[in-house]
Amino acid sequence: MGVQGVPNQRYGLGLLALVLIWLVSLAHDDESSSSISWSMANTITSSELSQKHREVQNPLETVGVQTQAHYPTPSPTPYDPGESLIPRKLWHILFPIGDTITDREVSFVGDWIRNAPGYTYTFLSTTGGSALVAVHYGHNSEELDVFQQLTNPALKSDFLRYLVLAAQGGYYGDVDTRPLIPLDQWVPPELRPQVRLLCAPEHDDAITPDPTAAYKVRFGQWAIAAAPGHPVLRRMVRRAMEGLRYLSQSQNTTLDMVRPDNIQVLNATGPLAWTEILWEYLFETDPNITSQDDLSGLATPKLVGDVLVLPITAFRAPTAGEAPWFEEHGDHRLLEHHMLGTWRQWQPPS
């Protein structure tokens, strides 16, 4: 996905530079601006990465944008039940379909930065993602090998968000989401010492029945917040690798050449896989949770062990069929999802 040898490189970098300059200026306008680190350099090969263990030659440096490489501390942080608060880290991931990043693709980044004062902000693409995975999981790890083989942007983005949150924790949001209130207000103050994972449904049969749905309550993963090392994220890393191996075997091809349809993405690394692992953990954590009905139709957040399950209103706008329920229980959205779905335009390399 790099920019080397691309005819439109100069135009693409110029557009990206303008976007980044705007974002940096927005951050510095805030009294307590976030610490911003950019990990978008794509001018280093995988072999160079394993030798140097760092990012170099960031093309943004040539256009006057102050850049700072973001390097995680070695080894995944162990999960500590006594630890409180989700780290004040904000993550974005983008693997562009074309040769350039468009302003439409990053149009909500400024909103995230404004709503996360004091947070460390990291924007990851191929090289930055490889560097982070190599440091946390090892330069010869299966996790890094799988990540670097993937070319489908949806599978690659799904996998990286789990790897990042398992290793460092923090807040993740798809670039087509826009926060509506500051991130520090997402967890009620009285629950902050207990919450180590934040999630919300994307579908609930109690609101819009769907007899074809695999789960009565299906959780979305376009926005997740977690403590580092949380068991759900660690399990999800393993589950995603299993799903990816199955996908490549079923298509009798290598990971870089898989051509998944929407359902295959959902099952391999997306919301269906995420829901499977999350329900598994919720049932284990609280003996009072015996069926999906126990978390269906939530109008207020519910703490299940160390997981804060938000109502379906939290992370998206209502559909036409859901509008009456939303109106009855109030609009308590924390963010909105614009569902651009640019990954659907992807074609495997020839």
Choice between 323 and 230, residue whose per-residue pLDDT is larger: 230
> How crowded is residue 94: how many other Cβ atoms within 10 Å of its Cβ?
21
Q: Which domains does the chain have, with CATH numbers?
A: 9-345 (3.90.550)
Candidate from 5-14, 64-73, 156-165, 295-304 with smallest mean pLDDT: 64-73
* Phi, psi (deg, nearest 5) at residue 304: -120, 100
Given a cut of 80, whether residue 267 has pLDDT beyond it is yes
| Residue percentage of the chain with pLDDT more than 90 | 62
Cβ atoms < 10 Å from Cβ of 50: 13
> Which is more confidently placed, 108 or 347?
108
Mean pLDDT across the stretch 48-71? Answer: 29
**C-alpha torsion sign, points 177, 181, 182, 188:** negative
pLDDT digit string, tens, across residues 118-177:
999 999 999 999 999 999 999 999 999 999 999 999 999 999 999 999 999 999 999 999
Calculate helix-pair angle for 153-168, 126-137, nearest 10 degrees: 40
pLDDT mean over 213-219: 96
Whole-number average pLDDT of the chain: 79
The answer to whether residues 39 and 128 touch, using CB atoms and an 8 Å cutoff, is: yes
DSSP secondary structure of 159-209: HHHHHHHHHH-EEEE-TTEEESS-GGGSS-GGGTTT--EEE-EEEETTTS-
For residue 336 the two structure tokens come to: 């909105």
**Which tokens hold the place of 321?**
């069929």
> Is 322's pLDDT higher than 50?
yes
281-289 average pLDDT score: 97
Residue with token string 């789990």: 162
